[in-house]
Structure 1
């Protein structure tokens, strides 16, 4: 039996070929001109810096004149950045002619007078005769006084004895601590007749123990002390 071959007529519909999409024409981006600094900006920055400087100066003047220990009669001050022994940064200020140490300012006189007159002189400058509280302060004063004068010299300090009890007292009411004193060997020898204390300096000796009791009427130089000003 012969195989019959069947033919089927197949018609294909016309298919549309995809049309390639055309991108929209690129719009030309106008180039921006470089920004020009405004003329008033530098003037504004300069004015702000000037105002800041003026504010700092005014602050310094106000602080120095508000009872930080020294009166406003001093025309010139000297300030140094930093406080020895402190990690915080301050400007420590003392009058010209005074020497800073830690939080205080110190003055050495070139003239001499009695103990009472010496204390009045220091008080008139807004200070008092020096009160020595620590070994570091004693060493500082000893080293400083040796560089000022080459010969032997004695200074009144703010330690005196009461007439009746012969009890030693500091001018600022700091408690007297016998273990924190620097008397010469054998001193004080006569606290009932020699009721004031001198700080004796000799360029050839390095002895830390240099306090001596003397009559208060003795005419000596003096060391004044006042609190420094800080900003």
Structure 2
């Protein structure tokens, strides 16, 4: 028995190596999407910064100027509708009107459905850097009247402040008797010192009315020109 135990104890033990830690392939698989997402977020952030810089640079290169005026006054219109100009005049690449205004020639027109007396109508136009409609030609009047409601009456920028039949346009355009569009028999009352555009018989024309009547109105302003300043 002792010999057997001695033999048993004499058997050498082999060197037991600790098993290698198994790698988990799923762990690296899970980290890859996170890395990809982080990369995409960084790219998006860089793109957004680039767009912001380009946006600021573009608007620093643009300026809005009213036609034939050199002014630094802020134009009170935030949304413009513009058309490419065919003119080769420097600094007039795009001609613009405020959104919902009508464009014709070098002017923009706004048809107001709000009813006011003549003075208040002119003040409202003035707050938009415009004035009541000044009509210079039959073509201009026809363009505007196509947008009007036949049963409505609209103030224009013509008045006779002193009641002496000395008609004056609000923008100081000389009153030209050969380019007027009065209805037959008008003007007919020296106490009616303001002018409206109406179509009582289906044809649009001018009529003198008391200035304290509340009517709709039409505003007019010069087009806004977008000037692109190209770097040398």
TM-score of the two chains, using structure 2 as the length reference = 0.64
- 5 Å-filtered alignment, 1:48-127, equals 57-63=59-65, 71-82=74-85, 90-127=93-130
* Partner secondary structure for residue 116 of structure 2: coil
Q: Gaps spanning 5+ residues in structure 2: where? A: 1-49, 227-232
Q: What is the deviation of 1:101?
A: 0.8
Q: Distance in 2 between matches of 1:187 and 1:126?
A: 31
Give 1:195's aligned residue: 193
| Aligned structure 1 segments of 4 or more residues deviating by more than 2 angstroms | 53-64, 66-73, 86-90
- 5 Å-filtered alignment, 1:106-185, equals 106-145=109-148, 149=149, 151-185=150-184
Q: Distance in 2 between matches of 1:109 and 1:80?
A: 23
Q: Would you say how many aligned residue pairs link Structure 1 and Structure 2?
A: 171
TM-score of the two chains, using structure 1 as the length reference = 0.65
Q: Gaps spanning 5+ residues in structure 1: where? A: 1-46
Counterpart check, 1:217 vs 2:219:
no
By percentage of residues, which structure has more helix?
Answer: 2
Q: Distance in 1 between matches of 2:138 and 2:212?
A: 28
